Amino acid sequence: MMKPEDFPADDLLKAALAARSHAHAPYSGFKVGAALRDAEGRVHAGCNVENSAFPQGQCAEATAIGVMVASGAKRIAEILVVADGPETVTPCGGCRQRLVEFADPMTPVHLAGPEGVRATVTLGELLPRAFGWRQVTPEAKPEDKP
């Protein structure tokens, strides 16, 4: 596991905390923020959005990915997820798969609480042997990847 101090992510934490403050979590009360740094260094943030029809909610990571794609970016260079509580929060399984679409196995994923980064892992550690673009289009070159 990487050490949090190896990857200062203050700007990502600030963006994720700001997004988290706007989370719509009336059912669980569990507010989450996420921030992504794209390949050009731009930061994109999102929060969780719950819905009374529970499967229709959206995770913070999915919101941040949507914001990133809407801005024209397609590659994630770094990820931060923040939530409050005694346990370190990681992206859910669905969001891990969403992140794999736009990031590489060595992409740093910072797991944070409101006080700062608690741990840093790679996306490959979170989702080893992920299904992705290589399985769908094995002849594609990395630059052809979405």
Chain centroid offset of residue 93 CA: 11
**What is the value of pTM for the model shown?**
0.88
The reported pLDDT for the residue numbered 33 is 98
The reported pLDDT for the residue numbered 145 is 59
R_g of the chain computed on alpha carbons: 15
Q: Provide the angle, in degrees to the nearest 10, between the axes of the packed helices 60-70 and 93-102.
A: 20
The reported pLDDT for the residue numbered 7 is 56
Question: In order along the chain (146 residues), what is the average pLDDT of each group of 10 residues?
Answer: 61 97 97 97 97 94 98 96 95 96 95 96 94 73 56
Domains and their CATH numbers in the chain: 4-144 (3.40.140.10)
The reported pLDDT for the residue numbered 128 is 92
Would you please indicate which residues are annotated as catalytic (active-site) residues?
A: 61
Half-sphere exposure of 69 (CA within 13 A, CB side): 12
